[in-house]
Amino acid sequence: MDFSNSLLSWYLQNKRDLPWRNTVNPYPIWLSEIMLQQTKVAQGLPYFLTFMKAFPTVLHLAQADEEQVLKLWQGLGYYSRARNMHKTAQIIAFELKGNFPKNYNDLIKLKGVGEYTAAAIASFAFNEVVPVVDGNVFRVLSRYLDIETDIASAPAKKEFSALAKELMPQNNPAFFNQAIMEFGALQCVPKNPDCTNCIFNTSCAALQKKKVTELPVKLKKTKVTNRYFNYLVFLDNSNKTLINKRTEKGIWHNLYEFPVIEAEEELDFESISRAVSEKYIDFSIDSIVVYNPEQIIHKLSHQKLHINFYRVAVTEEILEGISLDILKKYPFPIVIYNFIEKYSI
């Protein structure tokens, strides 16, 4: 209990004032947890506030058009989170009459809600005694207790959940869960933690054994795939262009993009020109010019995208095109949106 008491005392003095911590309403708690998956608080907070303003209840979110949800999500990445969140909102609003499941076992059945998110909602909204295990918790416990289990391995989650539950005060699980995650986020950080000014500097096993930089152990590495995207910005004399909704499964599902020539390797200008002429035979091409002098590199968790944009001027009117004036109203991947902004497309 010394660990728990010290941790809770630290939390009271150091916790950040975050809006989803000042409520037991499961809706904003769920919203924040979905947004903060793979995302730092500083990046996620403005999105949370925007969503709460646009969709103050789960019913508002459920009634929204998916494109509106994706547009507000633009730039946060991992867009499947937004799509799943929207579908789950519809289930809660229309099938469960606006009521969130009140326990871990039922929460985890919701689309887009995994073990961590279900535990967080059950704990923070309903005070269920269930440990929340995220990257912060893995790091704090592995260092404090000198645990060398590979956190990417199958048994790790079960082992660390059991340890966290053992340390957790039964009368206030939500407070403990918030505290240990906050401690990992602010104090026991991944790189260069300030161990000298840590409340556990006399009891942390990793510090005593000079193993702080070695823990937690994570052996599994994600293989990164290189992909080459060549976007074609068609423009006619009326300043209309073409965009498509990306309907195939994978990255950016249901977001918009310009017509694209994707390749497994980098294509030179001649190859692009030839491909445009062969693929878009209905257009009379006036000119093809590359917009970005340097290739844009966009890194995702498991993919590295090599991106070029080409201005393709055409003689004919683009009958199914849209005006450049309304282009930015559509939800785009952030790398395309940034290009539109930069080049004033």
d(CA 83, CA 111): 10
Asked if 182 contacts 15 with a C-beta cutoff of 8 angstroms, the reply is yes
| DSSP reduced 3-state for 263 | strand
What is the bridge-based pairing of β-strands 303-314 and 296-299? antiparallel
Three-state DSSP class for 150? strand
CB 258 within 8 A of CB 336: yes
Among residues 117, 114, 122, 119, which one has the least CA distance to residue 24? 122
- Phi, psi for residue 226 in degrees, rounded to 5: -90, 130
**Cα–Cα distance measured from residue 149 to residue 134, given in angstroms and rounded to the nearest whole number:** 15
Torsion of CA 242, 247, 250, 256, to 10 degrees: 30
* 3-state secondary structure at position 79: coil
Q: In the chain, count H helices and then E strands.
A: 14, 9
Q: What does the CA dihedral 253, 255, 259, 263 come to, rounded to 10 degrees?
A: -40
The residues carrying an active-site annotation are 33
Closest to 240 measured CA to CA, from 293, 290, 315, 291: 315
Beta strands at 225-235 and 303-314: parallel, antiparallel or unpaired: parallel
Burial string for 201-231 (b: 16+ CB within 10 Å, else e) reads eeebbbbeeeebeebbeeeeeeeeeeebbbb
